[in-house]
Amino acid sequence: MDMLLLVVNKCSWAIVAALGFAVMFSVPKRALWAVALLSALLYGLRIVALYYGVELVVATFIAVCFGGLISIRIAHWVNSPTMVFMVPAVIPMVPGISAYRAMMGLMQITRSPEPAPELLYQTVSNGLTALFVILALAVGVSLPALILRNRSIREVFGWTKSYHYR
């Protein structure tokens, strides 16, 4: 029960953040429900993957790739490009704490005459975590669209055969 409350709480805040960025990015009103749905699904999937022991970068990549596949279907319903609602939906997964700790560590390293090895280790670890999570977000958002770019939505989901005219 505690896990369910944690997922609902975190997904609710992810929806609030994603909708805030969607409004700031002038996402059409018809696509706001897709932003909310995707942000909740992606954040919830990442939390569940983390709960079962998957590393943060891998969990983020899996969640965002899943969202990229689902967004192809949602784009058909909303009649908007996938990036319109995918980008605001993944913004709550940006690793702000890791990036903040890496920058604070860099500031402490530059101030101290002889930085402690633990500080160096933590700074590099936080910086690399932030970097790889951002890389997982970027690749995960674009990979499904790149792989499936020459296929129609009907062909991807097996509704009917699609013929390409070039």
Helices (H), the chain: 2-24, 32-51, 56-78, 82-90, 96-111, 117-147, 153-156
The one-letter amino acid code at 99 reads: A
Q: Considering the domain boundaries, does residue 99 fall inside one? A: yes
Q: Are 90 and 163 in contact (CB under 8 A)?
A: no
pLDDT at 1 over 80: no
pLDDT at 152 over 70: no
User: Which is higher by pLDDT, 161 or 74?
Assistant: 74
Q: Considering the domain boundaries, does residue 121 fall inside one? A: yes
Q: Considering the domain boundaries, does residue 9 fall inside one? A: yes
pLDDT in tens, 32-65: 999 999 999 999 999 999 999 999 999 999 999 9
Q: Considering the domain boundaries, does residue 103 fall inside one? A: yes
Is residue 96 very low, low, confident or very high in pLDDT (cuts 50, 70, 90)? very high
Q: Considering the domain boundaries, does residue 45 fall inside one? A: yes
- At residue 27, the pLDDT reads 92
Q: Are 90 and 96 in contact (CB under 8 A)?
A: no
Global confidence as pTM? 0.83
What's the whole-number mean pLDDT along residues 4-25? 94
- At residue 159, the pLDDT reads 59
Q: Residue 27: how many CB atoms within 10 A of its CB?
A: 21
Average of per-residue pLDDT values in the chain: 89
Burial of 164 (0-12, 13-18, 19+ CB in 10 A): exposed
Q: Which of 68-72, 111-115, 135-139 has the highest mean pLDDT?
A: 135-139
- At residue 21, the pLDDT reads 95
Domain range for 124 is 2-156
- At residue 120, the pLDDT reads 92
Q: Are 34 and 78 in contact (CB under 8 A)?
A: yes
Is residue 73 very low, low, confident or very high in pLDDT (cuts 50, 70, 90)? confident
- At residue 144, the pLDDT reads 83
Give the count of domains, the chain.
1
pLDDT at 12 over 90: yes
What's the whole-number mean pLDDT along residues 85-101? 94
- At residue 3, the pLDDT reads 86
